[in-house]
Copies of this chain bind each other. A is one copy, B any other.
């Protein structure tokens, strides 16, 4: 332990499950943490709306007054109250008073990260948020420290456990989206209102944070293109597997020529990709850097103890004097509109079971400069369409193409009289191996 082994004095805002995990780690691992931090981590005060006598605070004071966290006997405020405005205000006030801040609040960072990090830098204090993305997986540390020598080219993550649980259940048990969602809700892996998770907002918050760090840019949540998984069918999962792919809900940020791509959507990944093997509620983040090449970080993306593990890692870093994240916002980077993003596509086109339809679809795609790289055409796999008519799905894998060109082509295909239902299109990422 160093000569200046004054304890790091900690105040926690909130006393939910993650806060309970932080309290437990500080209490149970005190000696090891002090050794790693160079000084004791001392929990001074916990502020929350209502007391929880069942949580052993190990002698720390309890208060219902959040303001009590800004007293001068607190060095670091740990923000675990959630929500947006009140949490942002708490962090601002702490930083203004030269208290360090540790938070797991991705929603606040995705919108106000630039302002808060700027304030932290001006005040010369640390702002730690390892817990805000992918739970306990040290992916913020990887971007800001381990890979700091690299120009990052791409980040691609499975960063919402609920969506991944649902897609895994659909793939492994042939469940429908609704059945898999109900199962996730029954297991406590999805909220009663699952919109925030399954429509991609949560992943978009996290992606805005990852992109800011990876590309030295501002936090640009509003510019993230977001598509959820509620439209995914088990048929699409089956065709994808037949073509050698797995369907994952990916958050992707990539350095392009005219700016940064930032998008969250269902994505086919090659079955040989490690991302294809990430099942259930687990998370993984793929980071490709010039220098290091491809890397992957895998682990629990949520839960009390994994998230608490990340919070306490930030506390240890602060105790050791590490300034934590730096360097966002240094570059003016445009976020590319989705129309300009280039990717390969999987298309499922419900069409009349008539000769020549595939050739006509191929001709329309060709006129828009879109090459076909693979296809599944069921001979005689006739089904009953909405109008009782017989139809077949035409499944096509395309070469990479700009979204704008694909949209224009699909509008024409959709208008073909032989096309009897809505076309499904899912993006394909082949580079993740």
What residues of chain A have their CB less than 8 Å away from a CB belonging to chain B? 21, 25, 29, 32-33, 35-38, 130, 135-138, 141-142, 144-151, 216, 272, 274, 277-278, 284, 289, 291-300, 303, 305-306, 308-313, 315-317, 320-323, 326-327, 330
Task: Say yes or no: A298 contacts B299, CB within 8 Å.
Answer: no
Cβ of A173 to closest chain B Cβ, rounded Å: 15
Is B277 in contact with A291, judged by CB distance below 8 angstroms? no
The secondary structure that dominates the A interface is mixed
> Do A300 and B308 contact each other (CB < 8 Å), given the known contacts A149-B33, A317-B145, A327-B35?
no
Contacts beyond the supplied A32-B327, A141-B141, A298-B298: 12 A-B pairs with Cβ under 8 Å: A138-B138, A138-B146, A145-B322, A146-B310, A148-B313, A291-B305, A292-B306, A293-B303, A294-B300, A295-B297, A297-B297, A321-B322
- The reply to whether A292 and B272 contact each other, CB–CB distance below 8 Å, is no
Q: Give the copy number.
A: 2
Q: Given A35-B327, A322-B321, A323-B38, does the pair A296, B295 have CB atoms closer than 8 Å?
A: no
Tell me the smallest distance from the CB of A143 to a CB of chain B, in Å: 10
Could you write out 30 A-B pairs with CB less than 8 Å apart? A25-B149, A33-B148, A35-B216, A35-B327, A36-B148, A38-B323, A130-B146, A136-B147, A136-B295, A137-B146, A138-B142, A138-B146, A138-B147, A141-B142, A141-B145, A145-B322, A149-B310, A150-B309, A274-B277, A284-B296, A289-B309, A291-B305, A291-B309, A293-B303, A295-B297, A295-B298, A295-B299, A296-B298, A297-B297, A320-B323
Q: Cβ of A145: which chain B residues have Cβ within 8 Å of it?
A: 138, 141, 145, 313, 316-317, 322
A123 to chain B, nearest CB (A): 13
Measured in the bound complex, the distance between the Cα atoms of B25 and A50 in whole Å is 53
Q: What distance in Å separates the Cβ of A211 from its nearest Cβ neighbour in chain B?
A: 16
In the assembly, what is the distance between CA of A294 and CA of B300, in Å? 7
In the assembly, what is the distance between CA of A294 and CA of B315, in Å?
21
Q: State the Cβ distance, A288 to closest chain B Cβ, in Å.
A: 10
In the complex formed, the residue of B with least CB distance to A141 is B146
User: A43 → chain B, closest Cβ, in Å?
Assistant: 13
Of the listed residues A21, A137, A299, A311, the one surrounded by the most CB atoms of chain B closer than 10 A to its CB is: A299
A178 → chain B closest CB, angstroms: 27
Q: How far is the CB of A141 from chain B (nearest CB, A)?
A: 5
Complex Cα distance A326/B305, Å? 23
Collect the chain B residues with CB atoms within 8 Å of residue A312's CB.
Answer: 148-149
- In the complex, the chain B residue whose C-beta lies closest to that of A143 is B138
Docked CA distance A321–B321 (Å): 7
With beta carbons under 8 angstroms apart, the residue of B141, B151, B284, B299 that contacts A293 is B299
Given contacts A138-B141, A277-B272, contact A299 B296 (CB under 8 A): yes
Complex interface: chain B residues within 8 A of A32 (CB): 151, 216, 327
Find A149's partner among B277, B293, B299, B308 (CB 8 Å cutoff): B308
Q: Is the CB of A313 within 8 A of B149?
A: yes
A100 to chain B, nearest CB (A): 15
B292 touches A29 (CB 8 A): no
Complex contact A291–B136 (CB within 8 A): yes
Query: Smallest CB-CB separation from A21: which chain B residue?
Result: B291
Q: Using Cβ atoms and an 8 Å threshold, which residues of chain B touch A305?
A: 291-293
Chain B minimum-CB-distance residue to A300: B293
Question: Roughly how many angstroms separate A320 CA and B305 CA in the complex, as a whole number?
Answer: 29
Nearest neighbor of A273 in chain B, beta-carbon distance: B277
In the complex, what distance in Å separates the CA atom of A136 from the CA atom of B316? 23
Query: Looking across the interface, which residue of chain B has its beta carbon closest to that of A22?
Result: B149
Is A306 touching B291 in the complex (CB atoms < 8 A)?
yes
- A315 to B145: give the CA distance in the assembly, Å: 10
- Could you tell me the distance in whole angstroms from the C-beta of A244 to the nearest C-beta in chain B? 14
Nearest chain-B residue to A41 (Cβ)? B149
Contact yes or no, A147 B309, CB < 8 A: yes
Shortest Cβ distance from A298 into B: residue = B296
Taking a contact as CB atoms under 8 Å apart, the answer to whether B291 and A308 are in contact is yes
